Structure 1
Amino acid sequence: MAKLTFYGAVAGVTGSMYLLETDQSTVLLDCGLFQGRREEEEANQQGLPFNTSRLDAVVLSHAHLDHSGRLPLLVGEGYSGPIYMTRPSCDLIEVLLKDAASLQERDVAWENKRRRRAGKEEIDPLYRLEDVEETLGFCQGLKYHQRITIADGVEVRFVDAGHILGSAIVELFINEGGVEKKLVFSGDLGNSQAALLRDPEVVESADVLLLESTYGDREHRSMADTLLEFEQVIEAASENGGNILIPSFAVGRTQEIIFRLGELYQQGKLRHQMIYLDSPMAIAVTEIYHRYQSVYNDDDRAAIDSTAPALRASQKSLHTFLPTLRYSTTTEESMALNKLDSGAIIIAGSGMCNGGRIRHHLKHNLWRQRSHVIFVGFQAIGTPGRALVDGAEYFAIGGERITVRAAIHTLGGFSAHASQSQLIDWLGHFQGVKPRLFLVHGEQDAKQALSEALSRLGWKARIPHLGETIDF
């Protein structure tokens, strides 16, 4: 009998990890970092909660670190088997894991300086760049809809989740004693209003279903209203001369925002602003998006193509759609942006303001009344971004407290996650006997609200506990 154990993303949104054990094989589904508050991130230091020598294969739903960020730890503990994902995810994961390793090494170097001065024992980073390089050697990219055997009695197929480039709904087919059972993990389902990517694909059958619930308790604002407010913020900044800061996640959200700014540019509505993408990682990811334009939805791909008809398809990109876009790659270029007191739209990471270049831009702009900060993604409890959204009067950085006078905007319609109604609509395509449903990847209130909404529609949803094992 197959067993599934929930090792992450059950008490909150992050740390995705599920262990499938059959009579013949053991497969790990996702291997993500815990992110957010310090006590949550400390769970990453505790080691993996299972014997890695028993693993036959690893399956990754997509490249975001809360789904992939512990893969180097897995390899460090001796795993040397295949790690299956989509082809775009293979490209993205290299950028994300290398960036994560670099940040860890840098942070630990600073911490060890402090420890040496205090006579304390030094610490090691979770993993280093060489650990990432070793991990990348085990990654294997698959096409969407390609069904292959990954372990004795276990097959996998990826279908498009529409969340970020390469994101997948994972279908695992388990054959025991001539009987096939199907485990489906939604991964992170995309927002059908979002730009560039296609809507999440339909799945019609499963025996066990793991469903994300990040926005299980709310609806997104309509994209029409979101774009109208976006345009109004840009117009206000244009009139009063203020800068606009957009803390943005490097994968997915940044490319969506660039596309939406491109639409405004093509409509003649970006009159004075220059757009600066100030994130080496987001720049690298944007170039990867360019290589995979074949997976864009038809309408947005046609819009990009129409702006540069004389160019070959390989030359058309978000850059040709938004000619005022500039990349800031070096530290010096980033610092130069702090001298701009008007006319700039600066997109920088991190998306929750708990690191990266955005913090320095906030330091130089939050105290200005004519500045604007636009949040376009989920802000986890305990992060600086969440504090600003909730009305914080001060922003702390480098021992300073910066007074918040800038206008703070939250545009939830840009979310890359499905809303409650979109999750329910996606579930509505399942045929016949309903699968056993488990809600994961959500704060407790979100999961509870989604569970109650589903119960009114005849679904019985379970909210699993960390370390819980189910049989099927």
Structure 2
Amino acid sequence: MTDRAPTLTFHGAAGTVTGSCMEFVHEGSRVLVDCGLYQGSRTLELLNHEPFAFDPRTVDAVILTHAHIDHSGLLPKLVARGFDGAIWCTRETIDLLEHMLADAGRIQEYDAERRNHRRDRAGDEPFEPLYTSEDSMAAWELCRPVELGQAFEPAEGIQARLWNAGHILGSASVGLMAGGVHTVFSGDIGPDNKAFQADPEGPSGVDHVVCESTYGDRARERVTIDQRRTLLRAEVESALARGGNLVIPVFALERTQELLLDLHHLIRSDVIPNAQIFIDSPLANKTTAVFGRYAAQLEDTGGRNVFDHPSFHYVTDVEHSMRLNSMSGAIILAASGMCEGGRIRHHLVHNLHRRDSTVLFVGYQAQGTLGRVIIEGAQRVRISGKDVKVRAQIRSIHSYSAHADQSELLDWIAARYPISGSLFLDHGEARALETMRRELQRRDPQLSVRLPEIGERYALLTGEPAKRLETGRTDLAELLGQDWQNEYADFATSLKAELRKLHDDKQREEALEKMRAVLKSYNDFRTKNGKSAV
């Protein structure tokens, strides 16, 4: 009987890695699990500006798995559109959100102001920010703490409980019980040997499970923290021996702190005793201060504040940040981790062209991002309107991930058995999702495995596979793939070099005219056949 069964609708992180948001409804009570920002390519981020697929005023509560912006970053927009219920999460998550949401609001305001001052937008309607800093603080003030393992009722008829997810400080998986149906949402699951965090936990014997699949197609080599430090040591020594800077794009939350933990160890071991390490991210500095307050209870810290060391220089003001451009032999940690914004971009402008510098990636690079373009071997990139040649050493360490790999995800799912209903795989790119689905079906052919799409709604039945009530959106396939704007940047940065190969200006003018003619012909064809030329 589906008319009284709880329903689950996927509003984000379905077929893609970011924008986590699920709507759980039972007999008029409505709860969101996460309300995250789409991050990555410029094209994908356009989804953030669409209206919510539900009325925020009808939402009773939000349960937040953790403070990462792809899980929390649309909370201010939700509040600005009329939501005024409680946002339930761990105390650590609330402390981090104070800074994460405030920073997100400032970024939205800055981006809107920057766009409105662009010359090519002169005369256009003013671009409005997605939300403001005031909206961010209003959302933070709605947060309510709940302890791991503590039962609570976010809305009438819905019982909830949180379990440690082992992903970042304060991260949790969510269990919901309504109408006799038990559903578990993984949130983001941490790997084995995760610094700071205990291993993930959760209930067994449930009806339905929603599990992230970020690394559903990858099997990482098992690396202990000591082994990871050995890898980092080799990269640091090699980079500094070259004489240039070691530039590390970092996520402000957790990745920065893990690197500082390991760098602290290497300094204390006299491996890099004279290192000058600059943390050039105001947000990372603030979140690191939160970690410092919890340092005594975190694993791997020895009960001390490992983030306080004379070699660590926390850069806040812009002038100090710009002075780093003239340095050599420094280690620079700067956000954002995927190089799509923040101070990392000007450090890349000043270091990518240097043969003596090194760029070390230590985090996931989503499809369509500048980080992905660089790591896949681009010879030129376009950053903030500048064409930059890539001459620096490009290196990667894959053992810093805060996400479980395929085998660890499979272990987490197995610990939830028996699963009598359906297993939904979300928070992954197409290949990762399909690889996980095949492996799960190989291991258990009877298990109902679903790959939901954005907009799909399901009835959650007791002891039976979920029943799809509404199909997903059909207009998102292109948005979830490679971003045309990065393709354009790659083409534009190579164009001048290709034109120089021609013999004279006349040939170059002819080539440009032919390219314009091809584009016009394509647009005319699209218009004639009733398709948008955009």
TM-score with structure 2 setting the length = 0.82
Instruction: Identify the range of structure 1 (144-153 vs 112-121) with the bigger mean alpha-carbon deviation.
Output: 112-121
- In structure 2, do the counterparts of structure 1 residues 37 and 433 end up closer, same or farther at CA, with 3 Å as the change threshold? closer
What displacement does 1:448 show? Answer: 0.5
Q: Which residue of structure 2 aligns with residue 218 of structure 1?
A: 218
Instruction: Identify the range of structure 1 (236-245 vs 23-32) with the bigger mean alpha-carbon deviation.
Output: 236-245
Letter in 2 for 1:236: S
Q: Does 1:152 align with 2:140?
A: no
1:238-253 → structure 2 map (5 Å cutoff): 238-253=240-255
Partners of 1:398 and 1:451 in 2: CA distance: 39
- In structure 2, do the counterparts of structure 1 residues 371 and 60 end up closer, same or farther at CA, with 3 Å as the change threshold? same
Q: Does 1:418 align with 2:418?
A: no
Q: Does 1:261 align with 2:268?
A: no
1:357-368 → structure 2 map (5 Å cutoff): 357-368=343-354
Q: Which residue of structure 1 aligns with residue 470 of structure 2?
A: none
Partners of 2:333 and 2:391 in 1: CA distance: 19
What displacement does 1:226 show? Answer: 4.0
- CA distances 1:393-416 after superposition (whole Å, capped 9, x unpaired): 113223321211111111111111
Secondary structure of the equivalent of 1:470? strand
| Aligned mate of 2:143, from 112, 119, 139 | 139
| Aligned mate of 1:75, from 59, 75, 79 | 79
Partners of 1:376 and 1:408 in 2: CA distance: 11
Instruction: Identify the range of structure 1 (75-84 vs 110-119) with the bigger mean alpha-carbon deviation.
Output: 110-119
1:182-201 → structure 2 map (5 Å cutoff): 182-201=182-201
What displacement does 1:293 show? Answer: 2.7
Q: Which residue of structure 2 aligns with residue 53 of structure 1?
A: 57
- In structure 2, do the counterparts of structure 1 residues 222 and 272 end up closer, same or farther at CA, with 3 Å as the change threshold? farther
- CA distances 1:419-464 after superposition (whole Å, capped 9, x unpaired): 0011011122124344410000000000000111111211442101
- CA distances 1:348-376 after superposition (whole Å, capped 9, x unpaired): 10001111111111111111112111111
- In structure 2, do the counterparts of structure 1 residues 117 and 18 end up closer, same or farther at CA, with 3 Å as the change threshold? closer
Secondary structure of the equivalent of 1:456? helix
- In structure 2, do the counterparts of structure 1 residues 13 and 433 end up closer, same or farther at CA, with 3 Å as the change threshold? closer
Letter in 1 for 2:270: G
1:32-181 → structure 2 map (5 Å cutoff): 32-114=36-118, 118-174=122-178, 176=179, 180-181=180-181
Q: Which residue of structure 2 aligns with residue 287 of structure 1?
A: 289
Unaligned runs of 5+ in 2: 461-534
Partners of 1:67 and 1:419 in 2: CA distance: 19
What displacement does 1:115 show? Answer: 6.2
Q: Does 1:465 align with 2:469?
A: no
1:422-461 → structure 2 map (5 Å cutoff): 422-458=408-444, 459-461=447-449
Q: Which residue of structure 1 aligns with residue 280 of structure 2?
A: 278
Contact 1:150 1:156 in 2 (8 A): yes
Q: Which residue of structure 1 aligns with residue 305 of structure 2?
A: 317
Partners of 2:399 and 2:297 in 1: CA distance: 22
Q: Which residue of structure 1 aligns with residue 356 of structure 2?
A: 370
Partners of 2:307 and 2:87 in 1: CA distance: 33
Unaligned runs of 5+ in 1: 306-315
- CA distances 1:247-282 after superposition (whole Å, capped 9, x unpaired): 000001110111111121222211442111110000
Partners of 2:392 and 2:421 in 1: CA distance: 48
Secondary structure of the equivalent of 1:338? helix
Instruction: Identify the range of structure 1 (198-207 vs 113-122) with the bigger mean alpha-carbon deviation.
Output: 113-122
- In structure 2, do the counterparts of structure 1 residues 433 and 239 end up closer, same or farther at CA, with 3 Å as the change threshold? closer
Contact 1:190 1:416 in 2 (8 A): yes
Contact 2:209 2:419 in 1 (8 A): no
Contact 2:206 2:418 in 1 (8 A): no
TM-score with structure 1 setting the length = 0.92
Which protein shows a greater Rg?
2
Partners of 1:430 and 1:191 in 2: CA distance: 17
Runs of 4+ with deviation above 4 angstroms: none
Partners of 2:352 and 2:127 in 1: CA distance: 35
Partners of 1:2 and 1:460 in 2: CA distance: 18
Partners of 1:226 and 1:387 in 2: CA distance: 25
- In structure 2, do the counterparts of structure 1 residues 319 and 466 end up closer, same or farther at CA, with 3 Å as the change threshold? closer
Q: Which residue of structure 2 aligns with residue 311 of structure 1?
A: none
- In structure 2, do the counterparts of structure 1 residues 240 and 259 end up closer, same or farther at CA, with 3 Å as the change threshold? same
- In structure 2, do the counterparts of structure 1 residues 21 and 237 end up closer, same or farther at CA, with 3 Å as the change threshold? same
Contact 2:352 2:389 in 1 (8 A): yes
Q: Which residue of structure 2 aligns with residue 6 of structure 1?
A: 10
What displacement does 1:85 show? Answer: 0.9
What displacement does 1:346 show? Answer: 0.5
